[in-house]
Amino acid sequence: MFYIKTRTASGKVIETDITDVIIFTRCSECGKEQSVDLTEFFSDGEGDLFTSGILCSECTMSRNKARRRFIDDFNITVDGLALLTDFLCQAGYGELVQEVLYDQFKVETVGDLTPDQYRPYANALIDLIN
């Protein structure tokens, strides 16, 4: 069992058990309080309590909209999608790409996408990693 100690102004020490329902942080953009699942936070081996920031769902959605506007300015090619998909697969998202996106777009590889599917696929990639 892990716990934290807090000393009150009167000098009394209060011990609080750390459980999966009492861990909170603030959104690194807007400051909104949100609960955190430490198991999930540390699951990729990259979690760091001192330098990591966690976005709330509203700020995450706002960033996704900004990314989509950014992507809308680009000419999306199958080669670019293949490169990005390969990168995400190597970064550990391969199972999600194959189980979710390939099924959603009814393809076996990125090369099977039709040109009218390029932009929706790019947006789906953004949604997948957030």
Looking up tokens 């670019």, which residue turns up? Answer: 80
Structure confidence at residue 103 (pLDDT) = 92
Report d(CA 112, CA 117) in Å as an integer.
Answer: 10
The model carries a pTM of: 0.50
CB-based contacts of 107-113 (< 8 A; 24+ apart in sequence): 110/78, 110/81, 110/82, 110/85, 111/78, 111/82, 113/78, 113/81
User: Domain limits of the chain?
Assistant: 1-55, 56-130
Per-residue pLDDT tens digits of the chain, which is 130 residues long: 789 999 999 999 999 988 877 888 999 999 999 988 887 778 777 777 788 888 888 888 888 777 767 666 678 899 999 998 998 888 888 888 888 899 999 999 999 999 999 989 988 888 877 6
Q: How far apart are CA 78 and CA 57, in angstroms?
A: 30
